[in-house]
Amino acid sequence: MRRNALTLRTVITLLCRAIVATISLRYYEAMEFISDVVSFLSQKAPFSMAEKWDNVGLLVGDKNNELKKILAGIELSGPMIEEAVKVGANLIITHHPVFFKGTKRLNFSTQEEESNWVRRMIKEDISLLTLHTNFDRAPSSLHTHLFSQLEIQNCRPLETLRERDAQNFPEGAGYGIQGELKTEVKAVELMPKLKETFDIPGIRFSGDLSAKIKRVGFVSGAGMFMWQKALREGADLFISGDVKHHEAVDAVNAGLNVVDVGHFGAEKHFATVMQKWLSEEEIEVNLFMGNDPFQFFI
């Protein structure tokens, strides 16, 4: 009986070791090359979800290179490339495309930033991967991440992609997000929480600070094109960035309160979401938060 017990214990031990070895091998094979990261992120945020005018995917480099380290941030810059070199990252992941307005040449003999950034990346064998509007529309992306911190519940897209596109996109993919606060609060009481969550020095508010807020809509970046949709969905407050004067006036006149957290203020959290996503595959991501191009004097 004892011999049989020992034999069973040995079998279980060997089986557990085999399972661990299989998992380890799967992980190693899954994220050995840059192409594996591209493939994983394309499942999270399919590149086909990007707007037709957008420029996403692997913009610089070789997807067949072995993956070393990753650096993620909102947009490419000289300091970001230097940080990648410093930490030994050979893959940079950005939200904003470096090639966006129809780049026609890369002239390394000039002081043109884009050209010299690409030259440095090629020299250091660093690849550049960009997720822009496909990321904005992805389930469990930046919108979900920030609403979770705000403890906003019953969340769903302001408009699902299936309302506008028949392609087989992931469940929950769509434009922006909407949801409800656990308890109704005055707008003025919500401002400190928004400032803290978005980690910004200040907030621009349009509307009635004494208004009761229960339902909230949010589109990151320049999202005021969705304010009317948010209003139709019953939002008391709409959060976005790059809010123009007349957009704010029109929204307030229609009965919608508006918060401008800034373009950078919302989308700088892209890097944190990349870190969260890739942690699912036990991949470490270094963050490069960058700097808001605007400075605030209050």
Instruction: Tell me if 247 is assigned to some domain.
Output: yes
Same domain membership, residue 161 and residue 262: yes
* Average pLDDT over every residue of 149-172: 83
What are the structure tokens assigned to 54, written together?
């957008």
Query: Which amino acid appears at position 31 of this protein?
Result: M
Same domain membership, residue 55 and residue 153: no
- Strands across the sheet with 127-130, in order? 57-60, 127-130, 91-94, 70-73, 285-288
Same domain membership, residue 147 and residue 121: no
Residue 295 has pLDDT above 80, yes or no: yes
Same domain membership, residue 188 and residue 67: no
**pLDDT value at position 107?**
81
Same domain membership, residue 128 and residue 166: no
Percent of the chain scoring above 90 in pLDDT: 78
Residue-wise pLDDT tens digits, 115-145: 899 999 999 999 999 999 999 999 989 999 9
The total of structural domains in the chain comes to 2
**pLDDT value at position 7?**
65
Range of the domain at 57: 34-134
SS (H, E, C) 93-157: EECCCCCCCCCCCCCCCCCCHHHHHHHHHHHHCCEEEECCHHHHCCCCCHHHHHHHHCCCEEEEC
Instruction: Tell me if 279 is assigned to some domain.
Output: no
Same domain membership, residue 198 and residue 120: no
For residue 142, give the nearest of 150, 201, 259, 251 by alpha carbon: 150
Residue 184 belongs to a domain with what CATH number? 3.40.1390.30
**pLDDT value at position 111?**
76
* Average pLDDT over every residue of 3-9: 55
Residue 273 has pLDDT above 70, yes or no: yes
Instruction: Tell me if 288 is assigned to some domain.
Output: no
Structure confidence at residue 32 as a pLDDT band (50, 70, 90): very high
Q: Comparing 136 with 106, which gets the higher pLDDT? A: 136
Same domain membership, residue 78 and residue 195: no
**Range of lowest pLDDT (163-172, 221-230, 263-272):** 163-172
**pLDDT value at position 169?**
82
